[in-house]
Amino acid sequence: MKRKTWTLILTAAVALPLLSGCGTSSEGAGNGQSASEQKNAGELYVYNWGEYIDEDVINQFEDETGIHVIYDLFDTNEEMYPVIEAGAVTYDVVCPSDYMIQKMRENDLLAEINFDHIPNISQIDPAYMEMSKAFDPENKYSVPYCWGTVGILYNTKRLEELGVAPPTKWADLWNPKLSGEILMQDSVRDAFMVALKRDGFSMNSTNENELNQAKDALIEQKPLVQAYVIDQVRDKMIGGEAAVGVIYSGEMLYVQGEVESLGLDYDLEYVLPEEGTNLWLDSWVIPKNAKNKENAEKWIDFLCRPEIAKANFEYITYPTPNKGAFELLDEEMRNNKTVFPDIDSLTNSEVFTYLGDEVDAVYNDFWKEVKAN
Amino acid sequence: MNKLLRKNLLAGPYLFWSLGFILIPLLLIVYYGFTDREGSFTLSNILSIMTPEHRKSLWLALELSFVSTVICLVLAYPLAMVLRNRGMGRGSFIVFIFILPMWMNFLLRTMAWQTLLEKNGVINGLLAALRLPPQGLINTSGAIILGMVYNFLPFMVLPIYNVLCKIDDDTINAARDLGANFMQTLFLVWLPLSIPGIISGITMVFVPALTTFVISNLLGGSKILLIGNVIEQEFTRGGNWHLGAGLSLVLMIFILISMALIAKYDKNGEGSAF
């Protein structure tokens, strides 16, 4: 989700010339094929998170359909929204997160998807369609792409040295013994989720008292926090910089792989806090002003194919809601509870919902207070 | 007449550039800064600088950039003097060495500092090898100041060096002949003559240091909120472009002040860096 922002900026900074080289060459290839193979099947403007697709999948789609894909990236939901709203570039298919889909839907920016054109929707596990109802009550506007949880990653050896038991709940992140050893997520809703859930409130709370309490909790926690970061949680934890960090579950495959391949003398383990957590979903939607709606539906259908979803899962490593793809995975992966937790165990977890501009502003102001304190 | 027209035509690309990429964006910032979400006129974006969080982050940014500017000046002036005295040949080689890191991306260099300062980083590794206790270096105001000084020091050295090079050796020798000691020469001859360079160096360090958000994010662990971070957050995460633009306009006041300073002390553009 929000990881890889820096990786992206960095890559862009270092290899802009290189990247643009790649871009033109692959586009050229796509063009050539579409021209030679079949009649011009039109274009498709895709707007997605950075590093959120296996690039071969794009080429494969172009080869198969003859549709020329124009692929753009965004870093945050908040950055994507004004672009779609302004409509200066009309994207045909976009992949926002849960609460942002709700905001787009409520502000009448989304087109209803014609599911007759998406037969592969049957591959999506109904449980995730159910989950989507938090932000898309009638399952009319979105098709789930990736999902996951947020939990605590901890360094077993470091905790032992500090004499602290492994964390099991969010409240453990307020342990004074962990001073300077905590990495928190540097985003408003994620940070408040931790504090709200700790006190047993909904992470979609709009109650001023609850939010105040959460704000005070975060201010109280701040001296213990080493840094507020996003994707760096992963690398800092692998480097042994901190004892505990709040992290997206999708990073775990990478973390586990690194610990093994670097031969580290400590273990990094992931726990879902018992107070419940953020259950997030990124789904494909079609903006109302899309010019190539049918191509967009072809794209979504293509991505719902089990083999394609599997290729994407292997690249992104974030859990896939595609049951066909899940069955194609080897048994060890299927039983990896860190990546694929039992949905039943997530009963007290929630999906973020859009709270309206005014409440958003309250969250932002409170977050600024935490940061400025 | 014809000649004049041709001259104007040559300025065309630049005019187009500054209109499209400087003036129009600036006007957009002004528009956003003075309107609310409904598009009606408001001063609240500008006045929001008075809220405690914004005031605090502005003050902190002023403080840190002031300290780094002073450090840069203290480091840069002697260096510029040494460079000048070395004469063109070897001096310009040192200048070259000095500018060399600037060819590498600024973000990369700042991230390299992260690796140096981290808890298990290079510096603490060296300290441990010397059996000294590890230091909490990263995520402090000190680390941010270090990052600012490191990144902006060349912008202080070059304008001062340029101005010093223009001081005639005879002027210095005359001061010595008349019995001035080193301190007297420094304060009565060197410094007054190099004021244009110092002023332009100060603004070239102070302004980017004041508005930075990358350095404070990377080396401050996002725990230290500077005004640049507030603005960045409003644009990328808060989704409130109006507030972000309003605060940018407030920051522009400081930029205007520094431009006025340059105009006053550096009338002939002697102190320009390049």
Q: What is the pLDDT of residues A113-156, one digit of tens each?
A: 999 999 999 999 999 999 999 999 999 999 999 999 999 999 99
DSSP notation for A88-154: SS--SEE--BHHHHHHHHHTT-BPPP-GGG-GGGGGB-HHHHHHHTTTSTTS-SEEEEEEEEEEEEE
Check if B55 contacts A (Cβ < 8 Å).
no
Residues sharing a CB contact under 8 Å with residue A67, sequence separation 6 or more, in sequence order: A34, A41, A42, A43, A44, A61, A292, A295, A298, A299
Nearest-by-Cβ selection for A9 from B107, B225, B233: B107
pLDDT recorded at residue B12: 85
Q: From residue A108, how far is each of A101, A354, A360, B188 by CA, in Å?
A: 10, 14, 19, 70
CA torsion, points B172, B173, B175, B179, in degrees to nearest 10?
140
Using the predicted structure, report yes or no on whether residue A336 has a pLDDT greater than 80: yes
pLDDT recorded at residue A40: 66
Average pLDDT over residues A26-46: 57
pLDDT recorded at residue A294: 94
Residues of A in contact with B215 (CB under 8 A): none
Higher-confidence position of A289 and B87: A289
Nearest-by-Cβ selection for A368 from B111, B119, B230: B230
Is the CB of A372 less than 8 angstroms away from the CB of B53? Answer: yes
Using the predicted structure, report yes or no on whether residue B2 has a pLDDT greater than 50: yes
Pair A243, A138: CB distance under 8 Å? no
In a domain, B189, yes or no: yes
Which range marks the domain in which residue A152 is found? 148-278+347-372
pLDDT recorded at residue A302: 97
In a domain, B6, yes or no: no
Pair A96, A104: CB distance under 8 Å? yes
Helices B141-165 and B106-117, axial angle in degrees (round to 10): 130
Instruction: Choose, out of B237, B240, B243, the residue to mutate when testing the contact with A (most A CBs < 10 Å).
Output: B237
In a domain, B233, yes or no: yes
CATH number for the domain that contains residue B97 = 1.10.3720.10
- Give the torsion sign (CA, A284, A286, A292, A293): positive
Higher-confidence position of A37 and A316: A316
- A241/A154 same-domain check: yes
Which range marks the domain in which residue B134 is found? 52-265
Helices B52-85 and B227-236, axial angle in degrees (round to 10): 120
Is the CB of A372 less than 8 angstroms away from the CB of B111? Answer: no
Q: From residue A279, how far is each of A205, A252, B225 by CA, in Å?
A: 15, 16, 29
Confidence of residue B179 (pLDDT cuts 50, 70, 90): very high
- A133/A269 same-domain check: no
Distance from CA of B201 to the nearest CA of A (A): 27
In a domain, B270, yes or no: no
Give the model confidence (pLDDT) of B99-136 as tens digits.
788 888 899 999 999 999 998 889 999 999 999 988 88
C-alpha span between A362 and A189 (Å, rounded) = 11
Check if B140 contacts A (Cβ < 8 Å).
no
Nearest-by-Cβ selection for B223 from A79, A225, A242: A225
Distance from CA of B95 to the nearest CA of A (A): 25
Q: ipTM value of the model? A: 0.84
Distance from CA of A345 to the nearest CA of B (A): 31
In a domain, B15, yes or no: no
> What letters, b where the CB count within 10 A reaches 16 and e where it falls short, cover A49-87?
bbebbbeebbeebbeebbbbbeeebbbbbbebbebbeee
C-alpha span between B255 and B227 (Å, rounded) = 14
Using the predicted structure, report yes or no on whether residue A2 has a pLDDT greater than 50: no
- A236/A286 same-domain check: no
pLDDT recorded at residue A354: 93
Give the model confidence (pLDDT) of A176-207 as tens digits.
999 999 999 998 999 999 999 999 999 999 99
* Chain centre to alpha carbon of residue A232: 15
Using the predicted structure, report yes or no on whether residue B30 has a pLDDT greater than 90: yes
- A222/A258 same-domain check: yes
Neighbours of A373 (CB within 10 A): 16
- A120/A231 same-domain check: no
C-alpha span between B35 and B203 (Å, rounded) = 30
Pair B84, B161: CB distance under 8 Å? yes
pLDDT recorded at residue B89: 65
pLDDT recorded at residue A265: 87
pLDDT recorded at residue A78: 84
Instruction: Provide the β-strand partners of residue A68.
Output: A43
Distance from CA of A78 to the nearest CA of B (A): 5
Least reliable range by pLDDT among A241-250, B6-15, B114-123? B6-15
Residues of A in contact with B108 (CB under 8 A): 10, 13-14
Q: In chain B, helix, strand, coil percent, each to 5?
A: 80, 0, 20
C-alpha span between B169 and B190 (Å, rounded) = 11
Average pLDDT over residues A12-36: 40
The answer for B104, left when phi > 0, alpha when psi is -120 to 50, beta otherwise, is: beta
CATH number for the domain that contains residue A207 = 3.40.190.10
Confidence of residue B238 (pLDDT cuts 50, 70, 90): confident
Show which of residues 230-259 on chain A sit within 8 Å of chain B, judged by CB atoms: 239-242
Using the predicted structure, report yes or no on whether residue B247 has a pLDDT greater than 90: yes
CA angle B250, B251, B257 (to 5 degrees): 100
Least reliable range by pLDDT among A1-10, A239-248, B193-202? A1-10
Higher-confidence position of B267 and A296: A296
Average pLDDT over residues A207-227: 96
In a domain, B47, yes or no: no
pLDDT recorded at residue B88: 59
Average pLDDT over residues A218-223: 96
- A255/A368 same-domain check: yes
Instruction: Choose, out of A1, A78, A85, A221, the residue to mutate when testing the contact with B (most B CBs < 10 Å).
Output: A78
Is the CB of A76 less than 8 angstroms away from the CB of B237? Answer: yes
Using the predicted structure, report yes or no on whether residue A351 has a pLDDT greater than 90: yes
C-alpha span between B239 and B48 (Å, rounded) = 16
In a domain, B25, yes or no: no
Structural domains counted in chain A = 2
Pair A155, A242: CB distance under 8 Å? yes
Using the predicted structure, report yes or no on whether residue B268 has a pLDDT greater than 50: yes
Give the E-state strand segments of B2-49 in sequence order: none
C-alpha span between B202 and A189 (Å, rounded) = 39
Residue B151 exposed, middle or buried by CB count within 10 Å (0-12, 13-18, 19+) = buried
Check if B241 contacts A (Cβ < 8 Å).
yes
Is the CB of A180 less than 8 angstroms away from the CB of B240? Answer: no
Nearest-by-Cβ selection for B56 from A79, A239, A372: A372
pLDDT recorded at residue A347: 85
- A246/A368 same-domain check: yes
Structural domains counted in chain B = 1
In a domain, B243, yes or no: yes
- A55/A70 same-domain check: yes
C-alpha span between A181 and A193 (Å, rounded) = 20
Helix (H, G, I), strand (E, B) or coil at A168: coil
- A289/A242 same-domain check: no
- A217/A233 same-domain check: yes
Rg (CA), chain A: 21
Chain A and chain B share a number of CB contacts under 8 A equal to 75
Query: Please, what is the average pLDDT of chain B?
Result: 89
Residues of A in contact with B125 (CB under 8 A): none
pLDDT recorded at residue B87: 66
pLDDT recorded at residue B270: 59
Is the CB of A239 less than 8 angstroms away from the CB of B229? Answer: no
